Structure 1
Amino acid sequence: MKETIKKSVYQIVGNSLCVEADDGLKVSAIVSEFIKNKQPIDLSFLNVQMLTSAFLNTAIGILYRDFSENDIKEYLSVSDIDATDAVLLKRVVSTAKIFYSDPDRIRNSLKEVLEESK
Structure 2
Amino acid sequence: MNIKVITLTGEHCISVDDGQKIFDLVHPLLEKGEDVTLDFTDIHICASPFFNTAIGQLLRDIPIEQLQGHLKFVNLSPYGNQVAKKVISNAKEYYTNPNLQKAIDDTLLGIAESA
Smaller-chain TM-score range? Answer: 0.7 to 0.9
Using the TM superposition, give the Cα deviation of residue 107 of structure 1 relative to its aligned residue in structure 2, in angstroms: 4.2
Distance verdict in 2 for CA 1:34–1:108, change over 3 Å: closer
Matched, 1:49 2:44: yes
Instruction: Look up the match of 1:70.
Output: 65
Trace 1:11-90 onto structure 2 (pairs within 5 A).
11-13=7-9, 15-90=10-85
How does the TM-score come out when normalised to structure 1? 0.83
TM-score relative to the length of structure 2: 0.85
What is aligned with 1:98? 93
Change (3 A) 1:82 1:7: same
Instruction: Tell me the alpha carbon deviations over residues 26-67 of structure 1, each in whole angstroms, 9 at most, x when there is no partner.
Output: 101111121123221100111111111000000001100011
Matches of 2:74 and 2:85 in 1, distance apart? 13
Partner of 2:113: none
Structure 1: unaligned runs, 5 residues or longer = none
Larger Rg: 1
Question: Does the 8 Å contact 2:23/2:58 carry over to 1?
Answer: yes
Please say if residues 95 and 101 of structure 2, whose CA atoms lie closer than 8 Å, have aligned partners that are also in contact.
Answer: no
| CA RMSD across the alignment | 1.8
Q: What fraction of aligned residue pairs are identical, expressed as a percent?
A: 24
- Deviation string 1:61-81 (CA, Å, 9 cap, x unpaired) is 110001111211121111100
